[in-house]
Structures are given as structure tokens and as C-alpha cells.
Amino acid sequence: MVGKFCWVELLTSDVEAAQAFYTDVLGWTVAASGLADRDYRIFSYGGHGAAGLMLLPEEAKAMGAPPHWMGYISSENVDADVEKVVAAGGKTYRPAETLPGIGRFAVLADPQGAAISLWQDLSGQDHPELPPMSLGRVGWHELYTGDVEQAFAFYSTMFGWTRGNAMDMGPMGVYQLFAIDGLDVGGIMRRPEQMPVPFWNYYFTVAALDEAVAKVEKGGGKVVNGPTEVPGGAWIVQAFDPQGVFFSLVAAKR
């Protein structure tokens, strides 16, 4: 569906080390994508593609980008949407590019400066949507931004997202839920001072949180927040992988 998060990929400084870490923590398998011009690997869980893996491009490093997770939002027309993002105050990091027979994409920044990509599928194939909180997939999307209301207005206008509940977190401000196609899939909050730039954070779903945390620590990662129970009864942690990439985990139980 247009306007939904449709993919996530890891741009890392060490592909082999990252592959070993995430396959252990999340139970993913990995395979080559088959792209002839780049080493792009596909993480899968239960026979379904879950995420991409590649080396952080030199042009991204030259622009100061550290290793990071990047999310993709589905678009009906990438070129038209790029123009809309720029007109709204965003900017282009990587112009629209076509992968023949696969899709067309562009890498952008929203008006607050958080990086996001657009994806227009050109494969002609059906891609079945898995149920929310499916194991091995992104179960929650979280935006840390400079202005919650302006950020929500941008994504709502661009992609038709709707407003969910707003939770008062005291000194941390309001946590604004957003829904896509009637389902709450993420939240927007003011960026804490210790986070240097606005960015999107992705919560990967695991069966049991404590077991996954043990694997994070054994694999050289570092948990920096949690385990924490959140409204609805789920449990979360926020962590860094061994290459310094921020990511999060969510589970229905400890």
C-alpha cells in the first residue's frame, strides 16, 4: 500500500560482522540479492524478506553519515514525491535511481532532517503483507524530531498518516502515535539532547526479550535503555550493534 513502510536496510561499516550479529540476535537467514553491480544481501525470516544489508556508500560517508538503519516508504511515483518533499522543506540525499525490473528509489531528508527513502515497486509481483508484530520484522517505527507537530503534519500530508493517541511523557514532551491504514504503527517524539540529529528508529520483533538481549550482549552490542514495559504490555530495549548502529527490539514478553 502506498504510504506504508515497505522495507528497511542496514548500511554498515562491516558487512560480515553485521551479518553474523543480526542473524544470531534475530534468527535471520541471509542470501545474496543477485544484483550484479553491488554486494547487497537480503535478510529473511520464515521465508519472507525482512531487511537489506550493504556497506555504507562512500558518498554517504563523505556527507557525514554514520552506519545506520534506513527505512523505505512505498510511493506511487517517486519522482513526483521527491518534488513534494523538497517543496515542503526537505532535501534530496540521493536522486531517484531505477533498479531495472525491481524498483525506483530516492534517499531524502524530511523537513526536520531525518533521513528516509522512497520506494516505487516496478517488479509487477505481489508482496503479501504480514500481520503486525510478525517475528523478525519491524514491529514499530519511531521518529525523534525537533518539532513533533510539524513532523506529523509533514508525514500526514505526504502519505496520509492519521493521528493516534498522544501520551504526555513529562519533561520528554508528547509521544504522538500515528496510524497507517487505521493501524497504529509508530510514534513521534521530541529528540532528546543526547541524540545529535533527528532520525528514525526501528523496533525489530523477537519472541522473548531477555533471550534476545543476551545475544546482543554476547555478540558485542550494548543495551542502553530497558528492558521497559510499554503501554499495551509489550517490552522493549534500545541498543547499539557492534558497529555503533542504533536499533531497538520489541517482544510480547520478557
Check whether residue 117 and residue 214 sit in a common domain.
no
User: Cβ distance 223 to 179 under 8 Å?
Assistant: no
Check whether residue 145 and residue 247 sit in a common domain.
yes
In a domain, 128, yes or no: no
Task: Give tens-digit pLDDT for 78-89.
Answer: 999 999 999 999
Last residue of a domain, one of 73, 93, 121: 121
Check whether residue 100 and residue 19 sit in a common domain.
yes
Check whether residue 159 and residue 218 sit in a common domain.
yes
Range of the domain at 51: 5-121
User: Cβ distance 3 to 73 under 8 Å?
Assistant: yes
User: Looking at residue 35, what is its pLDDT?
Assistant: 81
Check whether residue 9 and residue 116 sit in a common domain.
yes
User: Looking at residue 2, what is its pLDDT?
Assistant: 83
User: Does residue 61 sit in helix, strand or coil?
Assistant: helix
C-alpha cell belonging to residue 252 = 510480547
| 40 or 168, which is more confident | 40
Say whether pTM exceeds 0.85. Answer: yes
Check whether residue 31 and residue 62 sit in a common domain.
yes
Residue 132 and residue 251: Cα distance in Å, rounded?
12
In a domain, 76, yes or no: yes
Task: Give tens-digit pLDDT for 138-152.
Answer: 999 999 999 999 999
Task: Give tens-digit pLDDT for 225-244.
Answer: 989 999 888 999 999 999 99
Number of domains present in the structure of the chain? 2
In a domain, 129, yes or no: no
Nearest-CA neighbor of 158 among 60, 106, 83, 233?
83
Check whether residue 145 and residue 66 sit in a common domain.
no
